[in-house]
Amino acid sequence: MSEQPVALVTGSSTGIGAAVARRLAETGHRVVVNSARSVEAGEELAKSLPDAHYVRADIADEQQARALVEEAVAHYGRLDVLVNNAGTTRIIPHDDLAAATPEVWREILDVNLIGTWQVTVAAVPHLRATGAGSVVNITSIAGSRPAGSSIPYAVSKAGLEHLTRLLAATLGPEVRVNAVAPGLIDTEWTSALTVPREQVPLIAPLRRLGTAEDVAATVLGLVGAPYTTGTVLLADGGVHLR
């Protein structure tokens, strides 16, 4: 079995996940790229990286989540890093309570929280086997502030923040668990959020929107921080200061 580390990045065909996959590859990781729907983009990304493997799986489905981890380990023989980036949302004004139906809540929680849990549970034995496994969850500033594309989305990210702390307290010393909480990031996901995209550069101390590469750099920092666990690190350009 090769000693070269292996990283699985869920939801990594585009946007933040793709940027994280590229940065991990640049730092010597063999990368498992994943998506539930964007198969062509995921395959193209994997082909562009030095030693990457694409796996289609919907992490909201328990069997697919488990199979994703199993294929990663079967392909490379180990798993060192798990980046839980896969997520979904609905753009719903917070005061439109009726639009946030139970179906919307289930759809968002099934991916953002339960899906993350399912992949992590499947990955833990393999991460422990390395003696220095690392999990990084991608949350959101909406998990700690009354903001976000919808109330169900914000609550799912708040849950993910606390899950990060609970898992960190449980899985040490073999596995570290941290999270990155981005602010508004310039991706296809946020292209419809016209007003926030105009406001953030005016109020953020760094005077710009964040990029997927900004978040990826923060993820890489946590992957390489051997004495850090249970931390939720903001990547919001300083918006939390306002």
Model confidence at 195, pLDDT cuts 50, 70, 90, reads: low
Give the three-class secondary structure for 7.
strand
Measured over the CA atoms of residue 205, residue 162, residue 89 and residue 103, the dihedral's sign is negative
Q: Decide which of 191 and 199 is more confident.
A: 199
Q: What is the pLDDT of residue 208?
A: 85
Task: Assess if residue 210 is contained within a domain.
Answer: yes
Task: Assess if residue 223 is contained within a domain.
Answer: yes
193 by Cβ neighbours in 10 Å (0-12 / 13-18 / 19+) ranks as: middle
> How far is Cα 49 from Cα 9, in angstroms, rounded to an integer?
13
Give me the mean pLDDT over the 126-144 stretch.
95
Task: Assess if residue 128 is contained within a domain.
Answer: yes
Give me the mean pLDDT over the 57-85 stretch.
98
Give me the mean pLDDT over the 155-161 stretch.
97
Task: Assess if residue 241 is contained within a domain.
Answer: no
* Residue 54 pLDDT > 90: yes
* Positions marked catalytic: 153
* Residue 68 pLDDT > 90: yes
- Asked if 143 and 116 touch (Cβ cutoff 8 Å), the reply is no
Contacting residues for 95 by C-beta, under 8 A, at least 6 apart: none
**Six-digit token pair at 194?**
């016209």
Model confidence at 84, pLDDT cuts 50, 70, 90, reads: very high
* Residue 122 pLDDT > 70: yes
Task: Assess if residue 52 is contained within a domain.
Answer: yes
Total domains present in the chain: 1
Q: What is the pLDDT of residue 204?
A: 83
Enclosing domain of residue 22: 6-235
> How far is Cα 107 from Cα 90, in angstroms, rounded to an integer?
9
CATH of the domain at 155: 3.40.50.720
Task: Assess if residue 73 is contained within a domain.
Answer: yes
**Six-digit token pair at 112?**
């953002």
Task: Assess if residue 240 is contained within a domain.
Answer: no
Task: Assess if residue 188 is contained within a domain.
Answer: yes
Characterise 225 by phi-psi region: left (phi > 0), alpha (psi -120 to 50), beta (else): beta
